[in-house]
Amino acid sequence: MDNADVIEISGSAKDKYIKSRNAKNSETSSFMFVNESSDAPTYKSGNRRDVRAHVRKVVSKQFGLAHKKPKQRAERLPKYAPLKTKVADPTTAPLANHHRDCPKHASAIHQASFSTSTTLIEITESCSKTISRTVITEISDATGAHAPSASYCPACGQPLNLVGNRQIRANKESKSVAFSAQRQKSNLIGLLGAGRVDPFSSLPIDETDNYSKELLDHAITYTLPGLWPDVPLLGESNPLSKAWFTSSLRMPLLLHALVYSGSNHLDYMRHSAIYPNAPKPLAHKLKVIQNLNAALSDPNLALSDEVILAILILASQEVFMGEKGKRNPFNSPLQSLGWLNVYGNFRFVPQHTKAVADIVVMRGGLETIKLHGLAEIIASGDVISATNSLTKPGWPQLRRHTDLITAVRSWATTPPWPSIQTQASAFWSLRSHGVTDAMLEAFDSVGALTHAIDIHVQGRPFGQYLGTIHRTRTAVQHCILQLPAIDELIAEPWGSNEGRKNVYECCRLTAMIFGIAVVYPVPNSYDVLQQLVSRLQIALTILNIGNCGSDLEGVLLWVLVLGGIAALDKPERPWFASQLGKLANKVGLDDWDEAEDRLEAFLWLGSACDQGGHMLWNEGVL
């Protein structure tokens, strides 16, 4: 009656009936009335479960049915029980009495090792019992050495392989001991925080929480090495991290500044935003300010490198302009080199910047700074600020950066590279059109750097280190920004030819666009490119492209293509596309690949500009 449906009928007699669906001997359905009363002490009148149990009991007595007991449930498995259980192989069961050094026993065990399943719980248990098993095995081997041993297996009579099997067991035991030792070593490193905590309280900070120490570790092991990715000596850390951390141990205000900087950098890595007013970074920032006030009142500390660095951190990480702008028209290379993608979003606080400048001037200039990398960081921040505002840098070029430019230009024309540099070579034919010697020198430097970037992006050998590329691109961008505008060249012997001045200005503005696209790709450059594109359109309109001769066709092609790419999603885009189409028809260019071959003689990087240039070509020419 397990499949019977119990139907309750309300009434004063409280009788119940059941409709049987399992009438095997009869095709018609039968009904049976059952009295609800029961002698069971736990019976509750009206309870459905008790009523059904009572009905089953009465039906079983009526028809002589035996009650089926439910199957016993399997024993409850442990929480981390293996998914598969090992089943004894009947073919290997008779081998249980064989000696462990018997060849048959060894082959059976070898086959069984591949037929059984190993689970996580088995691996864990084996790791935790490695040492105990090793000790037991060594004891048993030691005791067995003095006991009389048989030379043949008692089960099958085959000779035993005593030497070979013992050597195999010894190798397995040595590996187990080595694995256990490594595991214990890892646990010890974990207990000591893997270098991210200060177990001996050696840092000059008052905080006892590990979070501040983790932020300091992030700044030292991740942020600072990324600022200047120099190749450290064998067995040593990054030179910048080593120098700044050593200085922070002598002056706690710098240590708090590094923790504050590490917090901002970690926030950007996680959320693409910073939270300088969160409790932890704000507490360290306030301590930096408090210690700075005390240090500035001390004549021996006021002009120190550590004070300059602490003020610089406050000046450069206060205002964050990290709103995601519109799409970048260029596929710029090495955008995160030197954390330019992070610190290019910051705007310097004028008061702090002035304080840094005053102290550096009182020290005698950037060349007098001794702390490793500090002068270059100041120069790099100056270039970032000048690029975002389209102004000239406030600090002069560092001598070491000038030497780097010379070295990279020499490298670009040294085998295995061609002895004549292709990049920027076409500009030398424009000296009669107003291109100055300073511009030619700057463009040659840009061409050498572009070659170094191209070699690195392609992964070709004999390239430059990332640290060298980063320093060189900072110096080259400084050279581009230092080029005087057209209004500053009034004293030049232009004569009465106004077109020469406009050619110079068009080349300067286009070089600044190339600087943002390839040399120094600051983030969120939409507004900066908008200003450059507007100025370039005005300069080209004054130049009157239609009246230019054939000797300017190449440079006009370069100016219109780079200006048109930068004008993506801007009102000037249709104008540049139409002017490019007119120039292509005049020159007889109908293929983009042919046009790109001409562009490579100026300033061009295919991986960064080819896609945008092809889109512009399709809009204006095809």
pLDDT tens-digit map of 95-123: 446 666 676 655 554 444 434 333 333 33
Q: pLDDT, tens digit, for every residue of 34-67?
A: 776 666 666 666 677 777 887 788 777 777 666 5
Query: Does 519 have pLDDT greater than 80?
Result: yes
Q: pLDDT, tens digit, for every residue of 342-365?
A: 999 888 888 888 889 999 999 999
Phi-psi sector, 394: left (phi>0), alpha (psi -120 to 50), beta: alpha
Asked whether the beta carbons of 563 and 575 are under 8 A apart, the reply is no
Q: pLDDT, tens digit, for every residue of 210-245?
A: 778 888 889 998 999 999 888 877 777 889 999 998
* pLDDT-derived band at 335, boundaries 50, 70, 90: very high
Report the alpha-carbon distance of residue 443 to residue 550 in Å, rounded: 22
- How many CB atoms are closer than 10 A to CB 536? 26
Beta bridge partners of 152: 159
Report the alpha-carbon distance of residue 119 to residue 124 in Å, rounded: 9
Q: pLDDT, tens digit, for every residue of 388-428?
A: 999 999 999 999 999 999 999 999 999 898 888 888 999 99
pLDDT confidence of residue 279: 87
DSSP string across 111-156: HHHHHS---HHHHHHHHHTHHHHHHHHHHHHHHHHHS---SB-TTT
pLDDT confidence of residue 130: 39
Q: Averaged over 193-222, what is the pLDDT?
A: 68
pLDDT confidence of residue 236: 79
* pLDDT-derived band at 538, boundaries 50, 70, 90: very high
* pLDDT-derived band at 470, boundaries 50, 70, 90: very high
Query: Does 561 have pLDDT greater than 70?
Result: yes
* pLDDT-derived band at 300, boundaries 50, 70, 90: confident
Nearest to 244 by CA among 84, 406, 372, 383: 372
- Looking at every residue in the chain, the average pLDDT score rounds to 77
* pLDDT-derived band at 8, boundaries 50, 70, 90: very low
Q: Which residue has the higher pLDDT, 512 or 211?
A: 512
Nearest to 562 by CA among 575, 552, 549, 576: 576
Instruction: Collect all residues with Cβ–Cβ distance below 8 Å to 388 and sequence separation of at least 6.
Output: 344, 347, 522, 528
Report the alpha-carbon distance of residue 407 to residue 42 in Å, rounded: 100
Q: pLDDT, tens digit, for every residue of 358-384?
A: 999 999 999 999 999 999 999 999 999
The proportion of the chain whose per-residue pLDDT surpasses 70, expressed as a percent, equals 68
pLDDT confidence of residue 112: 44
Q: At what angle do helices 252-271 and 279-296 cross, to 10 degrees?
A: 150
Q: Averaged over 159-163, what is the pLDDT?
A: 63
pLDDT confidence of residue 1: 42
The proportion of the chain whose per-residue pLDDT surpasses 90, expressed as a percent, equals 40
pLDDT confidence of residue 120: 32
Q: What is the pTM of this model?
A: 0.68
